[in-house]
Structure 1
Amino acid sequence: MVHFQRRLQPRVHVDLVPMIDVVFQLVIFFMLSSTLITRTGLDLDLPGARSSRESMTSSVVLSVVSRDEIYLGDERFTLGELESLLAEQRESFEDRAISIEADASLPYGTMISVLDVLRLHGFRGANLVAEQIRERHGTD
């Protein structure tokens, strides 16, 4: 029995370029979508401002309803409990920016107390969230 030998050997080559392209697109998608802030389920009456504009906000969102009802993400705290948490986890919040959503009827003193606690525990920048008021031109 005669065995014939092939002159051309089959070469299997997997082209990875399309897979790498898809992986990079997924990485970019997740990087961009992870920076978007999801609003909390709280029904806050945010104050309005004509100069308000959309901006890149931090990933840490603090929602202030009252002195005894403050939400860091989805967790509810009082002002004292929030201060204790920030003191315990200071390293993870050090030099971070934070976005603050506060009800329009919130007393000024409460906002100052919240900002004071944040500054004492390592936060250096605060974005105050407001609803943009659209100006109407012309007569109605």
Structure 2
Amino acid sequence: MIKTAHQRIPSDVTVDMNPMLDIVFILLIFFIVTASFMRETALPLNRTEQAVTSLVPILTPVFSIDAKNQVYLNNRQIDLDSVSINVARLGAQGEITSISLRAHPNSQHATLVSVLDAIKAQTSAPVSLGETLK
């Protein structure tokens, strides 16, 4: 039998991974820098220069107060207490752009103020005051 000398490997051998990590990061930076990013193409939009029409109808209610202090909305008699309800109903049906309020010269001032207060409680639309001869 031949005896061969076996060399012993020291058991405290470690593998240093730092150079490997450096190489990986350098390659990663290289590929990120040299990559060509493509922008997604979008379809061209043909926008019209015309104004867009609204689907909400534009309303201009006309309130009138006659000499007997009866309140009318668009020539239909309503109760003084239901003015705010009618304005709210009209506001739900469409956009109120302005409100016309006509009062007879012999009507009471309190009725006019009550109608104005009820209108302003429901909408911020401008109210134009006028005179009616009914």
Question: Structure 1-normalised TM-score?
Answer: 0.43
Work out which structure has the larger RCO, using CA pairs closer than 8 Å and 6 or more positions apart in sequence. Answer: 1
* Structure with the greater alpha carbon radius of gyration: 2
Question: Structure 2-normalised TM-score?
Answer: 0.45
